[in-house]
Amino acid sequence: MSESSPLLEVKKISKRFGGVHALEDVDFRLYPGEVVALAGDNGAGKSTLTKIISGVFPPDSGEISFQGVQISLANPQDARARGIETIYQDLALADNLDVGANVFLGREPMTRRFGLPMIDRKRMREEAAKTLDTLDIGLDRLDRPVRALSGGQRQCVAIGRALHWQAQVMIMDEPTAALGVPEQRKVLALIKSLKARGVGIVFISHNLHDIFAASDRIVVLRRGINAGERATVDANPDEIVRMMVG
């Protein structure tokens, strides 16, 4: 794959819910190491587009290509196995498990003790610690249940998990919405570090400040159609808002 070919490409995607055209003939591209912000008013179709890319449901029509090959995604596990990870605000961390166990959720390493297969908790914590260290995520203890973590720390664990499993595409739907300012900064810094590793990132936010701080390109959806896109350096917030409301 050459530098200039998209990591992910979506062509003429449409999706209806009953009478609602959630998406109509939407095209979308994401390149390696690029952060694309999806902007749009409530109900514009942002989450629907990301759910199609992450295998939550299939489009009614249109094509998805990943690393130059046309694919269909049966379910979110299928997307994850290909390296397409999604991070939601109140994401699927298991509250009662510790950080290490959450990084390995569903993919736990096994060991044997007294001849019996057991989950290798020590190895999970050690490897989780390594990954979180490379991201400079300062969690002092990995043996606490994640229920004891703040929203931002949980977000960091989810990002660490995606990175640990070599995500190529990271979809973040409102990752900073419920966070305090220092935690928002941490998540934005993590986005930069993923980008530097060549991960392509789809970033949804209602916060124009975050969009301008984090993205390389802004794609605007309006009532299910692609209302235009801009390189972030060439865009200004007023123009983006005008594109959003039409």
Task: Summarize as ranges the residues that interact with Mg ion (CB under 5 A).
Answer: 47
Query: Residue 87 Cβ, how far from Mg ion at the closest point, in Å?
Result: 13
Nearest to ligand ATP of 97, 244 (CB atom): 244
Query: Residue 126 Cβ, how far from Mg ion at the closest point, in Å?
Result: 37
**Residue 175 touches ligand ATP, criterion: CB under 6 A:** no
Query: Residue 67 Cβ, how far from Mg ion at the closest point, in Å?
Result: 26
**Residue 44 touches ligand ATP, criterion: CB under 6 A:** yes
Report how far Cα 244 is from the mean position of its chain's Cα atoms.
22
Query: Residue 193 Cβ, how far from ligand ATP at the closest point, in Å?
Result: 26
3-class secondary structure, 176: coil
Residue nearest to Mg ion (CB): 47
**Residue 55 touches ligand ATP, criterion: CB under 6 A:** no
CA distance 173 to 86: 8
Nearest to Mg ion of 48, 168 (CB atom): 48
Nearest to ligand ATP of 47, 176 (CB atom): 47
Query: Residue 83 Cβ, how far from Mg ion at the closest point, in Å?
Result: 23
CA distance 28 to 187: 24
Binding range to ligand ATP, per CB under 6 A, among 35-43, 92-100, 212-220, 225-233: 35-43
DSSP string covering 38-66: EE--TTSSHHHHHHHHTTSS--SEEEEEE
Contacts 24+ apart (CB under 8 A), 89-96: 89/151, 89/155, 89/173, 89/174, 89/175, 89/177, 89/178, 90/178, 91/154, 91/155, 91/158, 93/146, 93/154, 93/157, 93/158, 94/146, 95/145, 95/146, 95/147, 96/145, 96/147
Which residues between 8 and 27 bind ligand ATP (CB under 6 A)?
Answer: 17, 20, 22
Backbone CA torsion sign across 188, 77, 165, 94: positive
**Residue choice 47, 102, 153, 168 for contact with ligand ATP (CB under 6 A):** 47
Nearest to Mg ion of 47, 102 (CB atom): 47
Query: Residue 51 Cβ, how far from ligand ATP at the closest point, in Å?
Result: 8
Q: How far from each other are the two terminal CA atoms of the chain, in whole angstroms?
A: 37
Residues of this chain that interact with ligand ATP (CB under 6 A) are 17, 20, 22, 40, 42-48
